[in-house]
Amino acid sequence: MIKAKASDELVFLPLGGSNEIGMNFNLYGFGPPHARKWIVVDLGVTFGDQTTPGVEIILPDPEFIEEHADDILGIVLTHAHEDHIGAVSWLWPRLKAPLYATPFTAFLLREKLRENSACLEAEITEIPLGGSLTLGPFEIDFITLTHSIPEPNGLAIRTPLGTILHTGDWKIDPDPLLGDVTDSDAIQKLGDEGILAMVCDSTNVFVDGHAGSEADVRVALTNLIGGLKGKVAVACFASNVARMDSVIRAAEAAGRRVCLVGRSMHRMSAAAKSVGIMEDIEAFIPDTQAGYFPDDKILFLCTGSQGEARAALSRIAEGTHSQVRLGAGDACIFSSRVIPGNAVPIRNLPNKLADRGVRLYTERDQPGIHVSGHPCRDELAQMYHWARPEIAVPTHGERRHLLEHAAFAKDLQVPQTVTPRNGDMVRLAPGRAEVIDEVPSGRIYVDGGVLTPENGDALRERRHAAFNGILTVSVVLDRMGKIASGPQVRALGLPTDEAYPLEDVLDDLAGEAENAINRLKGDAREVDDEVETAVSRVVKRAGQRIWGRRPVVETTVLRI
Ligand SMILES: [Zn+2]
Ligand SMILES: [Zn+2]
């Protein structure tokens, strides 16, 4: 290990994942302030919602580190969840640093990178489980943890100014079914050596006790599925390969064959097989043949547990899936978290299935058929007990999670806590941990395949149009600005009313537009922009009067 110079600093800089669950993008920097070398830990996405119509994927904005791209020594990925690797194929072309991951993560990453031709030169170095890697002043050990996907890794990052334990996502599962148990020896040993800072998962900080074990879920699913008649569908996250495996074993025990429904189920089972997991199971039944099996001899393992519109389960619920039908006497098990309240799609999905006569089972009424992959308070306490860090840096949480986690760490006698927001640069050493700088951070929307800034015009206009409707005005003028035809007004997404039907409204708006043009001075009428602005203003104002809102108005002037 090299020695630190007096001007060297060790900094932590989250550019995503601090103040939100998702979009993890963490940086560690070492060196004097004007010449830091960086490593990136994770580069994930988050997903759009009703406030981002048409935008499904959201990326962290890499602007700050893009300017220092030559000083990025490597991008290290802890595990293959989308909120940790999903942005790599989008942003790698801007960072162009070497990639490091364990084999399962590397398999999935390679598939993603293949989809973007700008990533052809991206090189992934596979690190074995429990392996090590040196990037300049950073000596990194991969520590096996347990989570809800194969190969979750914590990182012990040794630097000349101290060691960081970056946990990634984890829980303490005494029987994870696939993969090893949490390498508590490695963590305790690291704790004995001295951990400067632990950057740690905050997802379940409000939940007492333990997250629970996958082994218990297997028992619960086996019991439940064993007692069911009719067709059975089970929805879970495909990336939870241990869960998939449990469902498959439960189906076998109940004399049912398994049919995978949904692309990511196939993708994940291929990734699992690539690292030697799930090799000894019976072949899956293609969905085209599932119909030949008696109802009580088949089980559908489906994507779409969160109500994603295009996923298998939504199509089954809509009755639009080409092969799979569920109805009265059939059962659907949600072996996944039930997202509370705000997500509308998930509320519709169970209702649509219930309407078909399908009996539903969720973690609410069937305790034990799902467990979280993140640490609850007892597990956090255990981790702090093993690691004994000098500084607690909560991450992977909304503001309230991070603050609660910091308070909890204080209760556990951790001497220092710091709760940065995205863009806050925290100096971990030398001296007390504190925020020393604020750098640009934000979000980038993937909008129709195009990367656009968070507050870009397209989405703002679309949102505005979605809430307020659209009016288009077209008018034909001659060179001198005399109206030759129109104006004609059309409406999209605006309500009509018997007392004042839309047709009449549009005629009146056309009249107002005509007046606006006639009020213009002669030479202004010869300029398209002037006419368009005047017409739009009048029509917008009229819209406000009629509907109490301001529709998007698009005016087109044609000349003859
Ligand atoms: Zn995560
Ligand atoms: Zn995860």
What separation in Å is there between the alpha carbon of 32 and the centre of ligand 1? 31
Mean pLDDT of successive 10-residue stretches along the chain, which has 560 residues? 91 96 96 97 92 90 97 98 97 97 97 93 97 98 97 98 98 96 97 98 97 97 96 96 96 97 95 91 93 96 88 93 94 85 64 94 93 97 98 97 98 98 97 97 93 88 89 88 86 86 88 88 82 90 89 90
pLDDT of residue 326: 96
CA 535/CA 471 separation, integer angstroms: 11
Which ligand is located closest to the Cα atom of residue 203?
A: 1
What separation in Å is there between the alpha carbon of 153 and the centre of ligand 2? 10
Contact 467, 549 (CB under 8 A): yes
What separation in Å is there between the alpha carbon of 408 and the centre of ligand 1? 20
Contact 248, 284 (CB under 8 A): no
Which ligand is located closest to the Cα atom of residue 150?
A: 2
What separation in Å is there between the alpha carbon of 501 and the centre of ligand 1? 52
pLDDT of residue 337: 85
What separation in Å is there between the alpha carbon of 51 and the centre of ligand 1? 22
Which ligand is located closest to the Cα atom of residue 239?
A: 2
pLDDT of residue 354: 93
What separation in Å is there between the alpha carbon of 45 and the centre of ligand 1? 10
What separation in Å is there between the alpha carbon of 151 and the centre of ligand 1? 13
Contact 332, 317 (CB under 8 A): no
What separation in Å is there between the alpha carbon of 395 and the centre of ligand 1? 10
pLDDT of residue 341: 47
317 secondary structure, DSSP code: H
pLDDT of residue 343: 52
Contact 28, 164 (CB under 8 A): yes
pLDDT of residue 449: 87
pLDDT of residue 344: 56
List 550's β-bridge partners, or say none: none
What separation in Å is there between the alpha carbon of 104 and the centre of ligand 2? 13
pLDDT of residue 342: 45
Structure token pair of residue 423: 């863009």
What separation in Å is there between the alpha carbon of 207 and the centre of ligand 2? 17
pLDDT of residue 119: 94
To the nearest 10 degrees (0 to 180), the angle between helices 241-253 and 214-226 is: 30
pLDDT of residue 380: 98
What separation in Å is there between the alpha carbon of 83 and the centre of ligand 2? 7
What separation in Å is there between the alpha carbon of 126 and the centre of ligand 1? 21
Which ligand is located closest to the Cα atom of residue 373?
A: 2
Which ligand is located closest to the Cα atom of residue 153?
A: 2
